Amino acid sequence: MLLRWLYTFLLTLLSPIFLLSLYKSKPNKPKFGSRWKEHFGITPPPCDQTQQPIWIHTVSVGETIAATPFIKKLKEQYPHTPIIITTTTSTGAQQAEKLADIAEHRYMPLDLPFAIKGFLKQTRPQLMLIMETELWPNTLHYVAKADIPIAVINARLSERSAIRYSKFQPIFNLLAQNLSLILCQHKDDAERFTRLGINEQNVQITGSLKFDISVSDRIIAEGENLRSRLGKQRPVWIAASTHQGEDEQMLSIHQKLLQLHPNALLILVPRHPERFNDVFQVCQTAGYKTHRRTEQAEDLRDTQIYLADTMGEMMLLLASSDVCFMGGSLLGDKVGGHNLLEPAAIGLPCLIGPSFYNFTDITQQLSHAGACFVCQDQSELADTLITLFQESQLRQQCKTKALQVIAQNTGAVERSLQLIKSLLLTTTHTNK
């Protein structure tokens, strides 16, 4: 109790700094508008109040995209049960709005008692599902106190995070005591949770929800259409989710590729929308013929850099490419890489830098299968990229292996739904 009070006091002091960062206006970032009140628990009740909703927290864009197949299947199985999705960020809200036909969006309240209580009073959820490992002490305390089961789905816990939690074991215990179920992506995630003291009966391995990824015919068709405009008979590679410090490296690598393939194209996709303008200037200053996706043009065959300055179109962009480099992996230990499953589901050969600790298992599976190449630096990355464009048979082998890895790991959505069913049945019985 004392520990949580101390945490609440510190969070109260720090929350203005957090909110200033959250609300800071940035280029291409959606605004919160009058909905800022929701962060303080002043939340509209669900439109559908026939049943208590299932509350799913997905933080931001990546988690919302990853949870989408699960949310759709959940709605299929429980068509009359309302679903509320909460995100912290406005970009996450923008992504969640794409599910508006099956779920309502609310902003996640601050982890302060009055805000959490206000949210719970208005929404009255029957179950809370947390995507990955977004654990807040007061939220977990007051949700559990209201007899609402809490399950973490698609849970992952890196070795680095596990060591950090172990140094503050009382804080982790404060979180863990309120969790009904933890559904882990992989065996090593489960072992870390149990090592920290979670009851083994409350920890299950379901696989990653992100493996249950389907590439629609619409995406394939749109990707082919974009590729026709970019030029079908030219090498096209995509640098996805790049961070500051990686864009310049991508341009240097592309320069090497252009020396062998003068018509080559790089699709550059910065991770954060507030960087779009800066990255465009970097490309222009470097002398590349650069075109922004938001600028309409039919013929793009002379373009050297295609800057993807939009959100939520990654699959389409991947579907128009031949090879993918995944960003966040060439910056030492600052980021830890991003998820390779989307390019793998398209069948693209994948390149990644040496830092991928956030997605170790997925990267290693693809690497061991021969669908992904881990490159230690910019130079090795350039050499591998050139080799892939020189050997079409190697690219085809990578595609086959990538799709095999995806197929071998599907089923996490069904397993997760099966395991949370008991919690839903329990809450349904309680609410009658």
Catalytic one of 38, 63, 246, 342? 63
| Whether residue 121 is found in the same domain as residue 166 | yes
Q: What is the pLDDT of residue 422?
A: 86
In a domain, 284, yes or no: yes
The reply to whether 63 belongs to the active site is yes
Instruction: Compute φ and ψ for 323, nearest 5 degrees.
Output: -140, 145
Q: What is the pLDDT of residue 214?
A: 81
In this structure, how many other beta carbons lie within 10 angstroms of the beta carbon of residue 36?
15
In a domain, 356, yes or no: yes
pTM of the full structure: 0.74
In a domain, 95, yes or no: yes
Packing angle of the helix pair 392-409, 378-390 (nearest 10 deg)? 100
| Whether residue 269 is found in the same domain as residue 295 | yes
Could you tell me the residue range of the domain that residue 301 belongs to? 217-409
pLDDT digit string, tens, across residues 110-137:
999 999 999 999 999 999 999 988 889 9
Q: What is the pLDDT of residue 425?
A: 58
| Whether residue 154 is found in the same domain as residue 46 | yes
Q: What is the pLDDT of residue 427?
A: 56
Q: What is the pLDDT of residue 55?
A: 98
Among 141, 153, 151, 91, smallest CA distance to 116 is for 141
Number of domains present in the structure of the chain: 2
In this structure, how many other beta carbons lie within 10 angstroms of the beta carbon of residue 77?
12
Q: What is the pLDDT of residue 56?
A: 97
pLDDT digit string, tens, across residues 253-307:
999 999 999 999 999 999 998 899 999 999 999 999 999 999 987 778 889 999 9
| Whether residue 198 is found in the same domain as residue 286 | no
Q: Looking at residue 257, which CATH number applies to its domain?
A: 3.40.50.2000
| Whether residue 201 is found in the same domain as residue 293 | no
- The residues, ordered by sequence, that sit 6+ positions from 329 with a Cβ below 8 Å of its Cβ are 335, 336, 337, 338, 352, 353, 354, 355, 356
Q: Mean pLDDT for each consecutive 10-residue tract of the chain (432 residues)?
A: 88 93 83 93 93 94 88 95 95 92 96 97 97 91 96 91 89 89 92 92 91 90 95 96 96 97 97 93 96 86 93 94 98 92 96 92 93 97 97 97 93 95 66 42
